[in-house]
A and B are shown apart, each in its own frame.
Chain A
Amino acid sequence: DVVMTQTPLSSPVTLGQPASISCRSSQSLVHSDGNTYLSWLQQRPGQPPRLLIYEISNRFSGVPDRFSGSGAGTDFTLTISRVEAEDVGVYYCTQGTHSPRTFGQGTKVEIK
């Protein structure tokens, strides 16, 4: 199975400042169809996961533009340009290129 490794595991940030989370996969996530199925999920406290970013850099419906994704191959990054209080939670990367789907261990974003 593809192992997804996130860093850091915890990210204390100041309101209004940027935050960045890295995700590395143990294999390339480029699918035979040419797409890269790397997505990011947000899980607020007490809530289910919610899709934020799909296929590396596409924001899902209703996701604020302060969230952006980048990367290629095996290295990916989620960036929050200016952290707001509602962004507190755990963020997961997940890959759908290889079966079975696998998830990172999560990065907790909290306010300093």
Chain B
Amino acid sequence: DVQLVESGGALVQPGGSLRVSCAVSGFTFSDYWMTWVRQSPGRGLERVATINGDGSQKYYVDSVKGRFTISRDNAKNSLYLQMNSLRAEDSAVYYCARNVRRDLDYWGQGTLVTVSS
């Protein structure tokens, strides 16, 4: 079975940093693009970042460019999102999701990031 399990969410002060992770199983990780999507009451669902199978292509929403970095370790079947210079508006549940063609077919259960002093 395909499984995606996020971890690393926490309470962080504004301006701080955090790395969230997504451990996957049940499929050949390196064959798939992967995406981070966040969900907050104020902003709804928002695609944050996407990465291709070998990590050579990365795409970000404008609001996180220069602050967030998506990466992956195919040997460890893991996806990461390094978040720096965090702001209150980055507070959200962060989901990792698998890309198939131009859809997101499997989602993790999410990890909560709260940015507050």
Contacts and interface: CB of A to CB of B under 8 A. Distances in A.
Contacts, number: 53
A106 B47 CA distance: 15
Interface residues of A, number: 23
Given A99-B59, A100-B59, A54 B103 contact: yes
B105 to A, nearest CB: 5
B110 to A, nearest CB: 5
A60 B101 CA distance: 13
A54 B105 contact: yes
Interface residues of B, number: 20
Contacts of B45: 49, 92, 94, 103, 106
Interface of A: 31, 35, 37, 39, 47-51, 54-55, 60, 92, 94, 96-97, 99-103, 105-106
29 contacts: A31-B102, A35-B101, A35-B102, A37-B102, A37-B103, A39-B103, A39-B104, A47-B109, A48-B109, A49-B39, A49-B45, A49-B95, A50-B107, A51-B103, A51-B105, A51-B106, A54-B105, A55-B103, A94-B104, A96-B104, A97-B102, A99-B59, A100-B59, A101-B35, A101-B104, A102-B47, A103-B45, A103-B47, A106-B44
Interface of B: 35, 37, 39, 44-47, 59, 61, 95, 101-110
